[in-house]
Amino acid sequence: LTINRDLQAKVERILDEALTKYGAENGAIVVMNPQNGEILAMSTTPRLDLNNYSNYFDIYDNGSQYNRSIGMAYEAGSVVKILTMAAALDTGTVTPSTTYIDTGSIDVGGITIYNWNREPWGQQDMTGCLQHSLNVCMAWISTQMGSQSFYGYMERFGLGHPTGIDLSGEAMGRLKVPGDTDWHPVDLGTNAFGQGVTVTPLQLLMSASAIANNGKMVTPHVLYSMLRDGHQYNVPSQYAGAPIKAETAKT
């Protein structure tokens, strides 16, 4: 397997400590090499003692909870902002020095969207919009891009699609798009900062890997090689698309 035993053990300790520190019910950590898709560590809670698998149904209500990294989709939230900004930079809708006057709210589709602290942040460049995690600025960016361009990029980033990892039970997640019966014009604004978008941790990791890998995504995998008849066959990395240009990724 691609799993690094020492890193896996460390990640499990970090996850357990984080749950205690923040009072969370469960969590997941995935570590992946963005250049070849190798999963170096994957930990979720609660964990099953594989030497005592008879208590499976005492720990899990359903199979999707066994590995939350791939089996359970959640509302992504503000981490999607890096994808929105990447798309806007790639289309030339904004540059890092583009300025926006943040008044604390914006109207999209007849609905008012506010910042996380419901406060105005004044004049910001695009770095400031990311630095301060400003919902209003992101909603403005997506409306400047337009729905066709914005959702085209989110699709290319793989949101709402399985990654194709070589593990069973992968969930799809959901990206609503114009034309869906439950899509509304305000979604163009709220989806830009991850509300109304569901992903698995691994889906988002694969999307973000494009930023770390010169715009290219690779399919995640845990199988490193197979032995047959005394010969070792290594699993090659698989190209999964290039949602943004290399120059955009570097920016």
Residues assigned a catalytic role: 78
> Which tokens in the block code for residue 199?
């992903």
- How far is residue 235's CA from residue 225's CA, in Å, rounded to a whole number? 5
91 CB-contact burial (10 Å; exposed 0-12 / middle 13-18 / buried 19+): middle
CA nearest to 101, candidates 143, 78, 132, 129? 129
Largest CA distance in the chain: 68
Q: Identify whether 243 is preceded by a cis peptide bond (ω within 30 of 0).
A: no
**Amino acid, single-letter form, for residue 210:** A
